[in-house]
């Protein structure tokens, strides 16, 4: 019976003292999920409602918030169920599905940030051509590629992963990410090289493109007037901060997979929690506070809510 159970289900062994802190885990995860839904949902609604925010830059911010919602929904409901369960398990097929969603939405973040960098580059460096270049069709194409391209590439990796024979059925993680590679009986050379190929496509190339575009922006604004420099700083700083934080978290994910046996359990748990907490929660706070047009509508909404309560 145990052999049959273990052959069908994978145990998520990355939790620390879950029996002792079961309800604390649940309250923390549920609170974080609600905060992520509320903050990102607020950004999306404000951008959809207010016509002065119907510009490519804000549409990409809304897409980034939507992506954070989808990423979090693929993670947090399962975490809440796991901590309330006696055994933290997941079926192999469900694990592969979560793996696919996890990396598809994570990779989409980099491509969305690339689209935002391109939008800023055209807006600041080619302002007269901006309405022509960044039309509705261009925005739709960029959004489609940002979600469709990584999803197609990650699906291939997911299919290959799902066909690997498992010799272990207990991961050292709390979600189905790269930690499942350690369960394979034989390390797949194709999967290793294909993962590098996908990483180059959806991480390295977008990051290099973003750095290139912002370098061009800073060079041009350096020789411009103070007003142009101020505008560039206001719109580019949040994007660079989000990129920096997210890139660090992706490196954490790689560390978890490659150095898993060398890391204490509590360290792996903290690192994983950073991946699933910081970016979905950091994005709306950064854009909501640093982007003046969005922050203005947030303050108005807050004042209306306070007046109704009073």
Q: Does residue 134 register a pLDDT over 80?
A: yes
Q: Does residue 227 register a pLDDT over 80?
A: no
- What Rg do the C-alpha atoms of the chain give, in angstroms? 21
**Confidence category of residue 228, pLDDT binned at 50, 70, 90:** low
Q: Does residue 264 register a pLDDT over 70?
A: yes
Q: What value does the mean pLDDT take over residues 185-214? A: 86
CA distance 68 to 25: 21
Instruction: Supply 234's token pair.
Output: 């206001």
Tens-place pLDDT, residues 137-191: 999 999 999 999 999 999 999 998 888 888 878 888 888 888 888 888 888 788 8
Look at 284 and 66; give whichever has higher pLDDT: 66
CB 241 within 8 A of CB 97: no
Longest dimension (CA), the chain: 74
Look at 108 and 6; give whichever has higher pLDDT: 108
CB 298 within 8 A of CB 61: no
Q: What is the mean pLDDT of the chain?
A: 83
In sequence order, the 6+-apart residues with CB closer than 8 A to the CB of 77 are 33
Q: Output the pTM of the full model.
A: 0.86
Q: Does residue 306 register a pLDDT over 70?
A: no
For the chain, which domains are there?
2-309 (1.20.1070.10)
Look at 256 and 127; give whichever has higher pLDDT: 127
What kind and span of H or E run contains 92?
helix 92-125
CA distance 220 to 214: 10
pLDDT score recorded for residue 71 = 93
């Amino acid at each position: 019976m145990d052999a049959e159970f273990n052959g069908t289900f994978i145990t998520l062994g990355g939790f620390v003292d879950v029996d002792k802190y079961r309800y604390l885990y649940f309250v923390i995860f549920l609170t974080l999920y609600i905060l992520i839904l509320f903050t990102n949902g607020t950004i999306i609604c404000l951008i959809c409602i207010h016509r002065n925010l119907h510009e490519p830059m804000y549409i990409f911010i809304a897409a980034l918030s939507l992506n954070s919602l989808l990423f979090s929904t693929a993670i947090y409901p399962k975490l809440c169920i796991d901590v309330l369960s006696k055994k933290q398990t997941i079926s192999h097929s469900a694990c592969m599905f979560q793996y696919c969603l996890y990396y598809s939405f994570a990779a989409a973040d980099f491509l969305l940030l690339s689209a935002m960098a391109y939008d800023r580059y055209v807006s600041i460096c080619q302002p007269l051509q901006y309405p022509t270049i960044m039309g509705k069709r261009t925005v739709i194409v960029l959004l489609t590629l940002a979600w469709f391209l990584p999803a197609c590439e990650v699906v291939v990796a997911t299919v290959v992963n799902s066909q690997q024979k498992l010799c272990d059925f207990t991961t050292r993680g709390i979600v189905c990410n790269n930690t499942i590679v350690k369960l394979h009986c034989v390390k797949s050379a194709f999967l290793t090289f294909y993962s590098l190929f996908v990483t180059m496509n959806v991480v390295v190339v977008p990051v290099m493109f973003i750095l290139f575009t912002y370098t061009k922006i800073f060079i041009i604004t350096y020789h411009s007037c103070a007003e142009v420099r101020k505008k560039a700083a206001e719109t580019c700083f949040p994007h660079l901060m989000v990129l920096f934080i997210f890139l660090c978290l992706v490196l954490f994910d790689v560390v978890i997979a490659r150095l898993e046996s060398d890391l204490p359990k509590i360290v792996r748990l903290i690192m994983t929690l950073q991946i699933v907490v910081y970016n979905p929660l950091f994005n709306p706070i950064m854009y909501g506070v640093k982007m003046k047009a969005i922050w203005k509508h947030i303050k108005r909404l807050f004042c209306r809510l306070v007046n109704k309560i009073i």
